[in-house]
Structure 1
Amino acid sequence: MNVKHFNTRSISVKRAVLGFSGWPDAGRIVEHTLGEFKRGIPHEPLADWDMDGFWHAESTRPRITVHHGRIRDLKWPVYHFWIMNPETSPPILLGAGPEPTIFWRPFVDQLVELLRGWECEELYLLGGLYDHITHEETVVSGVGQDIKAYNQLHALQCHRTEYQGPGAIHSSIMTAAHESGIHCLAFWAHYPFYLSGRHESLMARLLGILGQLLNLTIETRHLTARWERRTQDIEETIQKNDDLMEMLESIKKGQVRRPFFGESSKVVRLDEFVKRREESPFNKDP
């Protein structure tokens, strides 16, 4: 394991928040949320994990900077860890980087080894997925492995789902964490498939969830204000596009109420939404 540590003192962090870029980060919602999370809390770099051996060039490539015909910078895929030091709460481990594209099992084994070495007891994973919903909805669903997780997701008013299809690294991490005695929850932000750019309402919702879990007060009023302004722009764009108006009306008519944890109503199947998104004419090449 090629991990560069920036801190030589003994580290003990009971709680960790991890996110991954790429396939499990629709609309870059996780990237934007964790960026906002970092800005609001003092933090310091803990370690960089060189992901050599866990990626291939078909899906991930090193990032280069060329200036005046010369290569000025070359950055290989790295997973970064920081220590968050909130004033009113114990330290928190934050991790972010690309989702591995090969050798998931060795990656997960090594990740759990790192977490256990840092004495992590609670792990919260963030993800984003595209969904057939409108921008008027703010939907976050949750996944847990035991009754404690179920009760937490119920208290947080997360939507519950069933899904059968391609998985993200989150599922592998959750399974390994559960087997290692690390309590783990995953939260998935549902990003409207026709949007692009920041979704401040979803960001605020995810930050609110993290605040409750980590006993933190995280300011989100500026995000809510930005989303209100962005919503006005979105509505103006929709009014000028008959095809988009028709599509949104179709989505609204086909919506099924999404039950929360603790409710006995029908569970929403994400695979149906994924299938519908793939079949949508707005997602086909010209």
Structure 2
Amino acid sequence: MSNDSGIFDGRILVVAFEGWNDAGEAASGAVRALKDSLDVVPIASIDPELYYDFQFNRPVLAGDDDGRRQLEWPGAVVYAPVSPGIRVDPLDDDGGMHAAGSGVGNLYLLLGTEPSRSWKAFTGELIDAALASGIDGIVLLGSMLADVPHTRPISVFVSSENPQVRSDLGVERPTYEGPVGILSVVGDAAEAVGIPTLALWASVPHYVHNSPSPKAMLALIEKLEQLIDVTIPRGDLVADSAAWESGIDALAADDEDMAAYIEQLEQARDTVDSPEASGEAIAQEFERYLRRRGDGRGDKGDGRGPDEPWRRD
């Protein structure tokens, strides 16, 4: 997939929400990493009283640099570049801590928590902020629990509801039907007002769903770099990703059932990835895999279904 679409040469809003769409905190973690490497300022936010049930999404106490505690409320914030349109040359960056490339000055961010109620009004506020900022396209980041092995590269499924984006980038139209998260609502509202959208979904191994997945965060960052002329610093993510994988390896070494299950996932993934694999061979391998998982170990864990089933990009 290459970026041949002029849509992604303009102002792009990258969106992620904590909650149902954020398995392993991969989507929100990727946008936080991007926020830390950009010079951005908040330009819009929503009133949490209107959209959150605080018994479900509770405010938290956090200390600042001076040791003072303050309340942080759930919400959603839109960030804009301090210097819109600026290009940052990698050679101008000291220490490699800042994003670089011609797309840096066109990146806007939306980071928040999935709301508890009034989704239409919530989405309307965010779309109004996007229109006021002259956003040309929206990239929706999500992560889902899936039957994938932690030992293989994290799959990122890329899709779009927009015919022009699909044609320009050679991506698929999503076919999922069923319950959705706030990302789908935001995407639908954006397309309705003429803002084209693209969705990136990372697959997180469901058997480690309780821990953040830096490997999935990296996969989303790398896919985003393919779409936009921007280089995003990795920081500690590479080392954290290796430690995450090693930690799961250690757990599997002490659990024969887990090790056997991971081996099944690896065989299925390798069959799909093999150059000589035909569609029929892939289908047969997954039929065998599905029969083997009849003991229930293929369950998605916490029930937080994705907006898209697992697909390989």
User: The TM-score by the shorter chain falls in which range?
Assistant: 0.7 to 0.9
Q: Which amino acid aligns with 1:39?
A: D
Query: Is 2:201 the counterpart of 1:188?
Result: yes
**Structure-to-structure mapping, 1:41-120, within 5 angstroms:** 41-64=38-61, 72-84=69-81, 87=88, 88-89=102-103, 90-120=105-135
- Tell me, yes or no, if the aligned pair for 1:132 and 1:277 is still in contact at 8 Å: no
Superposed displacement of residue 63, structure 1: 2.2
Superposed displacement of residue 237, structure 1: 2.5
| Structure 1 match to 2:179 | 166
Structure 2: 5+ residue stretches without partners: 1-9, 89-101, 303-313
Q: Distance in 2 between matches of 1:247 and 1:106?
A: 44
Structure 1: 5+ residue stretches without partners: 1-12
| Structure 2 match to 1:203 | 217
Superposed displacement of residue 124, structure 1: 0.8
Deviations 1:190-209 (A, max 9, x none): 11111243433322221122
| Structure 1 match to 2:33 | 36
- Tell me, yes or no, if the aligned pair for 1:26 and 1:191 is still in contact at 8 Å: yes
- Tell me, yes or no, if the aligned pair for 1:19 and 1:126 is still in contact at 8 Å: yes
- Tell me, yes or no, if the aligned pair for 1:141 and 1:161 is still in contact at 8 Å: no
| Structure 1 match to 2:156 | 140
Name whichever structure is richer in strand by fraction.
1
Q: Distance in 2 between matches of 1:229 and 1:205?
A: 16
Q: Distance in 1 between matches of 2:75 and 2:226?
A: 29
Q: TM-score, normalised on structure 2?
A: 0.69
Name whichever structure is richer in helix by fraction.
2
Q: Distance in 2 between matches of 1:281 and 1:185?
A: 29
Q: Distance in 2 between matches of 1:241 and 1:118?
A: 52
The alignment partner of 1:52 has SS state of helix
CA-based RMSD: 3.5
Question: Larger RCO: Structure 1 or Structure 2 (Cα < 8 Å, ≥ 6 residues apart)?
Answer: 2
Q: Distance in 2 between matches of 1:98 and 1:79?
A: 6
Q: Which amino acid aligns with 2:297?
A: S
**Structure-to-structure mapping, 1:209-228, within 5 angstroms:** 209-220=223-234, 223-228=237-242
Deviations 1:82-131 (A, max 9, x none): 22356233332111111112111121122211111111111111111111
| Structure 1 match to 2:190 | 177
Query: Is 2:288 the counterpart of 1:280?
Result: no
Identity %: 23
**Structure-to-structure mapping, 1:196-275, within 5 angstroms:** 196-220=210-234, 223-252=237-266
The count of corresponding residues between Structure 1 and Structure 2 is 256
Deviations 1:251-271 (A, max 9, x none): 345559669xxxx959999xx
- Tell me, yes or no, if the aligned pair for 1:141 and 1:160 is still in contact at 8 Å: no
Query: Is 2:126 the counterpart of 1:125?
Result: no
- Tell me, yes or no, if the aligned pair for 1:50 and 1:77 is still in contact at 8 Å: no
The alignment partner of 1:208 has SS state of helix
Q: Distance in 1 between matches of 2:272 and 2:247?
A: 27
Superposed displacement of residue 239, structure 1: 1.5
| Structure 1 match to 2:170 | 154
- Tell me, yes or no, if the aligned pair for 2:160 and 2:173 is still in contact at 8 Å: no
- Tell me, yes or no, if the aligned pair for 2:160 and 2:174 is still in contact at 8 Å: no
Q: Distance in 2 between matches of 1:209 and 1:113?
A: 27
Q: Distance in 2 between matches of 1:20 and 1:239?
A: 34
Superposed displacement of residue 61, structure 1: 2.1
The alignment partner of 2:51 has SS state of coil
